[in-house]
Structure 1
């Protein structure tokens, strides 16, 4: 079998000291969870060369990608965004699970619930689309209301049942025409959770779940949001349920909604929004811009 020579498509490392320091910096920053862009790699390489008194060092974007290839680095999409896990997170997870095991003694799974709030936008375009190759511009049409948000409160039980979702619109009054047996609707000026909204949810969703009238043993799993752990809320919940507060920074490890429900919920909602965008049922303002979905549509 004949051996074939390959052209050297990438230069060898000409400045090993610069690349070594730059590589160590990238690894150290990524261990902290910091975002590193190719622009920052370029800037840091120039800074390191200047500190080492290397005057003839010239770094271009092509050099950055050569450096990344030589050092087994690449541009990746983030798999999670949020707070960094504490150094002792494994011990905290084990301790919290032991706490739950003790408090769940004698509790039916249909009375062990997990509640969480999910931010939702009136526009939910996906970041990717099918398009012809070579196109210089790949745009996605929206109504221009990506920053118009509201909140959906979800709750599931360990038994597998789903409690009615609650929608919090960002306005002073509840919109007309949004009455529904399946969805609870409320409103506040921030469109987000607070103690009043939490009390409303407890009275209209959690206390009205199936068989809750008989006041059985129950446990409500919540994250450590300030609105969940005020003395007033703790006192109200303690009358008919136990609270299990997830330690700060461990939501992505211990909250079932965050792990398995919120993402498919938003994915299904995005599919509904895309169907609405493709349907010929839109209204337009005087300038010809498409109006956003109504509160009732959402």
Structure 2
């Protein structure tokens, strides 16, 4: 008995150990044959407890239907329903129907069976925002018409979009391979999983990418005179750090600023506008810049600067950036994917370094220099088609000049190709090292032909995938 308790219940003592000893004696006396019979089967040997079929506490059908109606009403309003919320609601409904909550706990096995019976499942959100998808799509149509009207009014043939995003020092995977049944799944980090820099990206509807602004954290000196000198002369950095920043700017196509929070502000918005649009002739055409409603984009100083530089700031509808802002539509996801890839490559490089057999692995987080290099290279790797595809919701089926210096059918083909390539890139179906392609096997050309005929890229891609599946 002592060996049995030590093996199956290690670490318990006192009254708890005595209770387990009595349980084992009871099982041996009254349930030995049943337990031995269950252990013969593979599934039975893995169970911690057994119960005869049909013996369970369940909810009546009307109770389950009431829970389903509750779930669907919340989801129609966009409210998330977590596993805990479902469990709480099931217990509440059970009590209302007279089912004893002493026995019915809405365990995970009940919830799993309940969701299977009613064609429900737990899913990760694929889109979030303050607006429901139909409302957001309606605002996207109105915003598209507004942008097209502004393009006609100002006689411009392209649109710009700028958006800031966080680039973290560590991109720990959300899942890891581990032993089944392990309660604590621990992963090692470098201690900088919350550290980040802010990157402001700028692109236009021609597919051009422009120099990114990178904002890093910089501790200001206590002396206000030195702090002001840092802001005016060294973009927010001290004398020694400024030498490193200068070298990074010279080596990479980036502008690097520093402040205490490492986040965007109104002064940086002014500097950003001057850097990208300040060198144009006074009589040049206006610039249409789509910018979200972040407060630092719309201060009086920023608005005055934009007017002086002949930049027309177009506010993206609040809560609709997922369908109205090109960066959120097609830039940010592949950018973050490349950043995660670079972090994994950095981890693999560290793991490949030789170390003593007894020496434990210690993950070294990237330096500020490394993060800047990651951000610049990830931005540079985005294709022209990816940048253009973010603007496709504006120019699709539009009579306004397409976002290209080409005209007519060539411009329409350029937009169609950008959408197709972006979709393929989104699904990791683009080989960047493919080299030359025979005109006979030019899949993109075939997609463009279908696009002119009114067949969408998604339909054509589906047809190609279906054909591959049939051939296999």
TM-score where L is the length of structure 2? 0.54
Worse-matched range after superposition: 157-166 or 86-95: 86-95
Is 2:205 aligned against 1:158? yes
Is 2:322 aligned against 1:275? no
**Distance (whole Å) between structure 2 residues aligned to residue 197 and residue 159 of structure 1:** 25
Is 2:116 aligned against 1:47? no
Q: How far off is 1:55 after superposition?
A: 3.0
Deviation string for 1:247-292 (max 9, x for gaps)? 111111111110100111111112112222222499xxxx995442
Residue of structure 2 in register with 1:169 after alignment: 216
Q: How far off is 1:153 after superposition?
A: 0.7
Mark the CA change 1:61 to 1:89 in structure 2 (over 3 Å): closer, same or farther: closer
1:185 to 256, 261, 265: 256
Superposed, 1:53-68 pairs within 5 Å as: 53-55=98-100, 58=104, 59-68=106-115
Residue of structure 2 in register with 1:220 after alignment: 289
**Distance (whole Å) between structure 1 residues aligned to residue 109 and residue 345 of structure 2:** 42
Deviation string for 1:212-234 (max 9, x for gaps)? 77633211011111111222211
Q: How far off is 1:189 after superposition?
A: 1.5
Mark the CA change 1:185 to 1:36 in structure 2 (over 3 Å): closer, same or farther: same
1:148 to 176, 179, 195: 195
**Distance (whole Å) between structure 1 residues aligned to residue 171 and residue 190 of structure 2:** 10
Q: SS of the counterpart of 2:121? A: coil
Q: SS of the counterpart of 1:77? A: coil
Residue of structure 2 in register with 1:4 after alignment: none
Deviation string for 1:61-113 (max 9, x for gaps)? 2111111011100111221233333864444322221211121122142xx21
Q: Which runs of 5+ in 1 are unaligned?
A: 1-7
Residue of structure 1 in register with 2:146 after alignment: 99
Q: How far off is 1:12 after superposition?
A: 11
Superposed, 1:224-235 pairs within 5 Å as: 224-235=293-304
Deviation string for 1:31-82 (max 9, x for gaps)? 2222222222111111122234433661322111111011100111221233
**Distance (whole Å) between structure 2 residues aligned to residue 81 and residue 170 of structure 1:** 29
Residue of structure 2 in register with 1:3 after alignment: none
**Distance (whole Å) between structure 2 residues aligned to residue 117 and residue 18 of structure 1:** 48
Residue of structure 2 in register with 1:19 after alignment: 64
Superposed, 1:68-79 pairs within 5 Å as: 68-79=115-126
Q: Is the 8 Å Cα contact of residues 207 and 213 (structure 1) preserved in structure 2? A: no
Q: How far off is 1:132 after superposition?
A: 7.0
Residue of structure 1 in register with 2:229 after alignment: none
Q: SS of the counterpart of 2:214? A: strand
Cα-Cα RMSD:
3.0
Return the structure number with greater strand share: 1
Is 2:302 aligned against 1:244? no
Q: How far off is 1:128 after superposition?
A: 3.6
Worse-matched range after superposition: 81-90 or 220-229: 81-90
Residue of structure 2 in register with 1:30 after alignment: 75
Q: Which runs of 5+ in 2 are unaligned?
A: 1-52, 220-235, 354-359, 372-472
Mark the CA change 1:81 to 1:149 in structure 2 (over 3 Å): closer, same or farther: farther
Q: How far off is 1:16 after superposition?
A: 1.4
Worse-matched range after superposition: 170-179 or 151-160: 170-179
TM-score where L is the length of structure 1? 0.83
Superposed, 1:78-157 pairs within 5 Å as: 78-85=125-132, 88-105=135-152, 106-109=155-158, 112-129=159-176, 131=177, 134=180, 136=182, 139-157=186-204
Return the structure number with greater helix share: 2
Mark the CA change 1:53 to 1:135 in structure 2 (over 3 Å): closer, same or farther: closer
**Distance (whole Å) between structure 2 residues aligned to residue 95 and residue 43 of structure 1:** 41
Q: SS of the counterpart of 2:215? A: strand
- Structure showing greater radius of gyration is 2
**Distance (whole Å) between structure 2 residues aligned to residue 108 and residue 25 of structure 1:** 50
**Distance (whole Å) between structure 2 residues aligned to residue 65 and residue 161 of structure 1:** 49
